[in-house]
Amino acid sequence: MVRVAVMGPSGRMGRMLVRQVDESDLATLSAVVERSGHDWIDQDLGRMMGGTERGLAVGDNIDAALAQSDAIIDFTAPHVSVALAQKAAQAGVAHVIGTTGFSDANLSLIAQAARTGRIVRAGNMSLGVNLLVTLTRQVAAVLGTEYDIEIVEAHHRHKVDAPSGTALMLGAAAAEGRGVTLADVADRGRDGMTGARSTGAIGFHALRGGDYIGEHDVIFAGEGERIVLRHVASDRSLFARGALHAALWLQTQEPGEYTMIDVLGL
Ligand code: NAD
C-alpha cells in the first residue's frame, strides 16, 4: 500500500481526496495536514468530516507528515505548494500539485525542487481535460491565424484565480500548436476601448458564480464557421481520482516535474 498524505482536508478538493484514498485498494491515508491555527488541528478527521471517529488526528506539522508518507497530494494555495515542493523533495516523498494560480517565480522554484524531487503538477487532473489539451494543440496546428482562438471558462464563486489553471493549459497548448509563446499572444479579459482584435491573439474570459465545478470552451472562430472544443466537469471526485492515480504513478518514476499528459500517456 502506498502511504498518501493529504493537504487541506477541510477544503473542497481536500475532502474529495480523503474519500478517494479511503476507497482505494492501493493506497492508505497516512496523514492529513491543515494550516496552523485551523479549527480542525488536533481534532479527529472522521469527526471533522461529519462521520465517526477514525483515530487519525489532523496535524499542522508537514515534516512529521512527510516522514510517514510515500506521496503527498496538495490542492491548497501557491505559497503552500512551493514551500512543500522543497520539503517533499528533501524527504524523497512524491508530490502531486493540483494547486493553480502560480507566478513565474513560483514555477521556477517548483522546477528547482524537481531536480531532486518527483512532482506531478497539473492545472487539471481529469482525463477529459488532458485529452482536450491534446486536441487543442492539434486543431491549432492545423488551422491558421484566420481562426481566432478564444478560451472561455466558468467556475464557482469561491475560486480566487483567473483565468483558471486549466484555461492557461489550454492556451499554452494552442500557442504550442501554432509555434508561438503564450505570453506573447495572450489577451486576458478585455474591457473598454480595446481596439480591434489582433491577429494571432489567444483570448481568455472567466465567468464566476454559483456552484460551477469547471467548464472550458476552446473556440476557433473563423469566417463562416466556428469549431468549439468543450469540457464540462460535473463531479469534483474526477480531479481527486486523477490526483491519486498520479501519486501512485510517481512511485516508479525518476526525479522530475511531470504533467497529467505524462501520467495518462497521452
Ligand atoms: P479550498 O479553499 O476549498 O481548499 C484549500 C484548502 O487548503 C483549505 O482546506 C485550506 O485550509 C488548506 N490550506 C491552506 N493553507 C494550508 C497549509 N499551509 N497547509 C495545509 N493546508 C492548507 O480550495 P479548493 O477549491 O479545494 O481548491 C484548492 C486549489 O486546487 C485551488 O488552487 C484550485 O484552483 C485547485 N484545483 C485544481 C484542480 C485540478 O484538477 N488541478 C481541481 C480543482 C481545484
Over the stretch 199-237, which tens digit does the pLDDT of each residue have? 999 999 999 999 999 999 999 999 999 999 999 999 999
Q: Spell out the residues 6+ positions from residue 118 whose beta carbon is closer than 8 angstroms to its own.
A: 94, 95, 250, 253, 254, 255, 256, 258
Q: What distance in Å separates the CA atoms of residue 70 and residue 65, rounded to the nearest whole number?
A: 10
Cα separation of 58 and 218, whole Å?
Answer: 40
- Residue 88 — left, alpha, or beta (φ > 0 → left; ψ -120 to 50 → alpha)? alpha
pLDDT of 266 higher than 90: no
Residue 240: phi and psi, rounded to 5, are: -65, -40
Cα-to-centroid distance, 82 and ligand 1 (Å): 13
Amino acid at 168: L
Would you say 14 and 241 are in contact if contact means Cβ atoms under 8 Å apart?
Answer: no
Residue 39's contacts (CB-CB under 8 Å, 6 or more residues apart) are 10
Q: What is the pTM of this model?
A: 0.90
The answer to whether the CB of 9 falls within 8 A of the CB of 45 is yes
Q: Is 75 in the pocket of ligand 1 (CB under 6 A)?
A: yes
- pLDDT for residue 161: 94
Return the percentage of the chain with pLDDT > 90, whole number. 99
Instruction: Choose the catalytic residue: 95, 155, 205, 245.
Output: 155
- Binding site membership of 58 for ligand 1 (Cβ less than 6 Å): no
Sort 70 into a burial class: Cβ within 10 Å, 0-12 / 13-18 / 19+.
buried
* Antiparallel, parallel or unpaired: β 2-7 and 27-33: parallel
Average pLDDT of every residue of the chain:
97
Letter string b/e over residues 88-106, b meaning 16 or more CB atoms within 10 A of that residue's CB: bbebebbbbbbbbbbeeeb
Binding site membership of 204 for ligand 1 (Cβ less than 6 Å):
no
- Ligand 1 centroid to residue 196 C-alpha, Å: 38
Rounded mean pLDDT of 46-63? 97
The pLDDT of residue 88 is 98
CA of 14 to the centre of ligand 1 (A): 7
Based on the residue annotation, tell me whether 231 is a catalytic residue of this protein: no
Q: What's the one-letter identity of residue 234?
A: S
Q: How far is residue 20's CA from residue 15's CA, in Å, rounded to a whole number?
A: 9
In the chain the domains, ranked by start, together with CATH numbers, are 2-121+236-264 (3.40.50.720), 127-233 (3.30.360.10)
pLDDT at 121: 97
Neighbours of 190 (CB within 10 A): 13
State whether residue 203 is helix, strand or coil.
Answer: strand
Ligand 1 nearest-atom number relative to CA 78? 32
pLDDT at 65 over 90: yes
DSSP 71-88: EEEE-S-HHHHHHHHHHH
CA 178–ligand 1 middle distance (angstroms): 33
pLDDT at 203: 98
Q: Is 156 annotated as catalytic?
A: no
Q: Which residue bears the cell 465517526? A: 52
The C-alpha atoms of residue 231 and residue 252 are separated, in whole angstroms, by 30
Buried b (16+ CB within 10 A) or exposed e, 156-175: eeebebbbbbbbbbbbbbbb
Pocket test for ligand 1, best of 10, 100, 156 (most atoms within 8 A of CB): 100
- On the 0-12 / 13-18 / 19+ scale of CB atoms within 10 A, 38 is middle
Count of alpha carbons within 13 angstroms of residue 175, beta-carbon side = 19
pLDDT digits (tens, 9 = 90+) for 143-194: 999 999 999 999 999 999 999 999 999 999 999 999 999 999 999 999 999 9
